[in-house]
């Protein structure tokens, strides 16, 4: 696997948390929903704007003012209602048919890891050469026509299936990997991508979308994953969102491992035990950084601190070192790129003030403390399920595999 590439993140870097972050999430949830339903047509924009202006002016002493305000508000809502009816019609017309992603044909030393909840392909040679320059494009990713056409229905369906205990997904901004990693260490190109684009592309893998009215398949994401010869379509030619997933496994100075049980709002591993920090790379993780490993490590620590609740001033001073140890593509998630890490928390388990922050309560049900004896059992190859602490997610199993192979 090569030497661990360790990047120390500055402990004084502040993290947004608590009520401000929760409000930010709720705002982007509402905005993402509006972006799906409100067409970019002048009747909606004009009607809504004039409706708001007139309603604000209700203080004017005129009997006609309320009537005008109501009329303009209705004019603004008519296109919105029409758009919502189109989404409802699409939901009635479309149905999903299971079509699992087959195993990919592999070249070189690429290998397939089968986990209890999915499959990841990786390359030991590439794992030893992850550090390379990055190029970030400000031009955002856009879905291909066929996926963009069903995107509103996909999001509406996902919202309808969410439990009442779970918050609705929000259209957050993440980072897309646009090029493959090569053994020469060439620069990789990144670009911004919206979370809803991932839901309408990578997360549709394993299913065909069938149109009842057309009596044919209108979307089959598997065709965007594997070429005709069974090999993975290179990331440079992929038309999927391919947002970068990041997961890291943390151990304390006294060799306790801290894991997370995913909450009801988690999309990828809901109800499963996940690594100490997992999520997606965000544009803010790239700020001031020009190397891939450095950016990935920054994103891993951000997710780690958020999900473990290491947010108080004293906890922000705790130093964390993160080794980016592996890269893979998760087949069940449309072969999206995933990076895996191992983090060393420079504090004992007793010194850590773990908590579930308000902004993370939908994504983290609770923390699991794995004692040193249990960690040793895992390092000898014992399956996580034997600890009787829940079912493991794909990122957790892959991280554990890297931990077992890491030099100690």
Judge if 13 and 49 occupy the same domain.
Answer: no
**Per-residue tokens: 50:** 């004039």
Judge if 88 and 105 occupy the same domain.
Answer: no
pLDDT digits (tens, 9 = 90+) for 8-34: 444 444 444 455 555 555 555 555 555
Judge if 240 and 126 occupy the same domain.
Answer: yes
Q: How many domains does the chain contain in total?
A: 2
For residue 358, give the CATH number of its domain. 3.90.79.10
Q: What CA–CA distance (Å, rounded) separates 179 from 201?
A: 17
Q: What CA–CA distance (Å, rounded) separates 368 from 170?
A: 27
The average pLDDT across 330-353 equals 95
User: Tokens 């089968």, residue?
Assistant: 114
Last residue of a domain, one of 95, 126, 144: 95
Confidence of residue 337 (pLDDT cuts 50, 70, 90): very high
Judge if 42 and 149 occupy the same domain.
Answer: no
What is the model's pLDDT at position 90? 64
Q: What CA–CA distance (Å, rounded) separates 177 from 84?
A: 33
Kindly state the DSSP code that residue 232 receives in the 8-state scheme.
B
Give the range among 38-47, 83-92, 366-375, 381-390 with minimum mean pLDDT: 38-47
Confidence of residue 47 (pLDDT cuts 50, 70, 90): low
Sign of the alpha-carbon dihedral angle for 14, 16, 17, 19: positive
Last residue of a domain, one of 57, 78, 95: 95
Listed in order, strand segments (DSSP E) in 265-319 are 273-274, 277-280
Instruction: Examine the pLDDT at 124 and tell me if it is beyond 90.
Output: yes
Name the more confident of 339 and 61: 339
Q: What CA–CA distance (Å, rounded) separates 207 from 203?
A: 9
- Mean confidence (pLDDT) of the chain: 83
Judge if 306 and 354 occupy the same domain.
Answer: yes
Last residue of a domain, one of 50, 77, 95: 95
Judge if 113 and 172 occupy the same domain.
Answer: yes
Q: What angle do CA 124, 125, 127 make, to 5 degrees?
A: 60
User: Please, which residues have CB within 8 angstroms of residue 50's CB and are 6 or more apart in sequence?
Assistant: 72, 76
* DSSP code per residue over 339-392: EEEEEEESS-GGG------GGGTTTEEEEEEEPHHHHHHHHTT--GGGGSS-PB
* Cβ-contact 383, 391 below 8 angstroms: no
User: Tokens 């400000």, residue?
Assistant: 138
Helix (H, G, I), strand (E, B) or coil at 40: coil
pLDDT digits (tens, 9 = 90+) for 273-282: 999 999 999 9
Helix (H, G, I), strand (E, B) or coil at 175: strand
What is the model's pLDDT at position 233? 95
Q: What CA–CA distance (Å, rounded) separates 90 from 83?
A: 11
Judge if 27 and 45 occupy the same domain.
Answer: no
Q: What CA–CA distance (Å, rounded) separates 195 from 175?
A: 9
**Per-residue tokens: 215:** 């009596």
Q: What CA–CA distance (Å, rounded) separates 126 from 280?
A: 21
Q: 280 pairs with which residues across the strands?
A: 245
pLDDT digits (tens, 9 = 90+) for 128-157: 999 999 999 989 999 999 899 888 888 887
Of 292, 300, 289, 327, nearest to 131 by C-alpha is: 292
Q: What pairing do the DSSP bridges indicate for beta strands 134-136 and 188-194?
A: parallel
Judge if 78 and 160 occupy the same domain.
Answer: no
pLDDT digits (tens, 9 = 90+) for 151-204: 888 888 777 766 666 666 778 899 999 999 999 999 999 999 999 999 999 999
Judge if 90 and 216 occupy the same domain.
Answer: no
Judge if 62 and 146 occupy the same domain.
Answer: no
pLDDT digits (tens, 9 = 90+) for 94-107: 778 889 999 999 99
pLDDT digits (tens, 9 = 90+) for 230-263: 999 999 999 999 999 999 999 999 999 999 998 8
pTM: 0.81
Judge if 144 and 284 occupy the same domain.
Answer: yes
Instruction: Examine the pLDDT at 1 and tell me if it is beyond 50.
Output: no
Judge if 28 and 103 occupy the same domain.
Answer: yes
User: Tokens 């604000």, residue?
Assistant: 56
The average pLDDT across 214-234 equals 90
Q: What CA–CA distance (Å, rounded) separates 186 from 306?
A: 32
- For 123, counting Cβ atoms within 10 Å of its Cβ (0-12 exposed, 13-18 middle, 19+ buried), the class is buried
Give me the sheet containing 173-177, strands edge to edge: 134-136, 188-194, 173-177
Of 392, 288, 393, 406, nearest to 344 by C-alpha is: 406
* DSSP code per residue over 136-168: E-SSPP---HHHHHHHHHHHHHHHHHS-TTSPP
Domain coverage including residue 146: 1-36+99-408
The average pLDDT across 321-338 equals 97
Confidence of residue 4 (pLDDT cuts 50, 70, 90): very low
Confidence of residue 65 (pLDDT cuts 50, 70, 90): low
Instruction: Examine the pLDDT at 390 and tell me if it is beyond 90.
Output: yes
Q: What is the largest CA-CA distance in the chain?
A: 80
């Amino acid at each position: 696997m090569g030497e661990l590439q360790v990047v120390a993140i500055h402990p004084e870097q502040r993290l947004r948390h608590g009520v401000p972050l929760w409000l930010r999430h709720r705002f982007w949830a509402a905005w993402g929903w509006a972006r799906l339903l409100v067409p970019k047509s002048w009747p909606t924009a004009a009607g809504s704007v004039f409706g708001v202006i007139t309603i604000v002016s209700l203080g004017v002493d005129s009997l006609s003012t309320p009537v005008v305000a109501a009329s303009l508000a209705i004019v603004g809502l008519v296109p919105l209602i029409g758009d919502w009816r189109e989404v409802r019609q699409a939901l009635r017309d479309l149905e999903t048919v299971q079509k699992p992603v087959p195993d990919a044909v592999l070249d070189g030393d690429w290998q397939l890891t089968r986990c209890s909840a999915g499959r990841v392909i990786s390359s030991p040679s590439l794992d030893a050469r992850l550090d390379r320059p990055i190029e970030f494009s400000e031009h955002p990713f856009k879905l291909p026509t066929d996926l963009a056409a069903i995107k509103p229905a996909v999001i509406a369906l996902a919202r309808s299936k969410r439990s009442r205990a779970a918050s609705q997904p929000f259209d957050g901004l993440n980072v897309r990997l646009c090029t493959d990693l090569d053994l020469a260490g060439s620069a990789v190109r990144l670009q911004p991508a919206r979370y809803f684009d991932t839901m309408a592309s990578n997360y549709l893998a394993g299913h065909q979308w069938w149109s009842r009215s057309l009596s044919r398949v209108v979307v089959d994401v598997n065709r965007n994953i594997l070429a005709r010869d069974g090999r993975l379509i290179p990331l440079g030619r992929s038309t999927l969102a391919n947002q970068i997933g990041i997961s890291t496994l943390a151990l304390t100075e006294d060799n306790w491992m801290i894991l997370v049980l995913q909450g009801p709002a988690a999309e990828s591993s809901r109800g499963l035990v996940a690594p100490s920090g997992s999520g997606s790379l965000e544009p803010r993780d790239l700020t001031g950084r020009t190397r891939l490993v450095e950016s990935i490590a920054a994103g891993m620590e951000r997710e780690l601190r958020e999900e473990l609740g290491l947010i108080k001033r004293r906890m922000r001073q705790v130093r964390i070192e993160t080794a980016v140890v592996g890269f893979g593509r998760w087949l069940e998630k449309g072969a999206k790129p995933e990076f895996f890490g191992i983090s060393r928390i420079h504090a004992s388990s007793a010194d850590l003030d773990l908590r579930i922050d308000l902004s993370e309560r939908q994504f983290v049900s609770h923390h699991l403390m794995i004692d040193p004896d249990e960690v040793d059992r895992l390092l000898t190859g014992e399956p996580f399920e034997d600890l009787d602490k829940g079912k493991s997610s794909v990122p957790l199993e892959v991280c554990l595999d890297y931990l077992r192979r890491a030099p100690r």
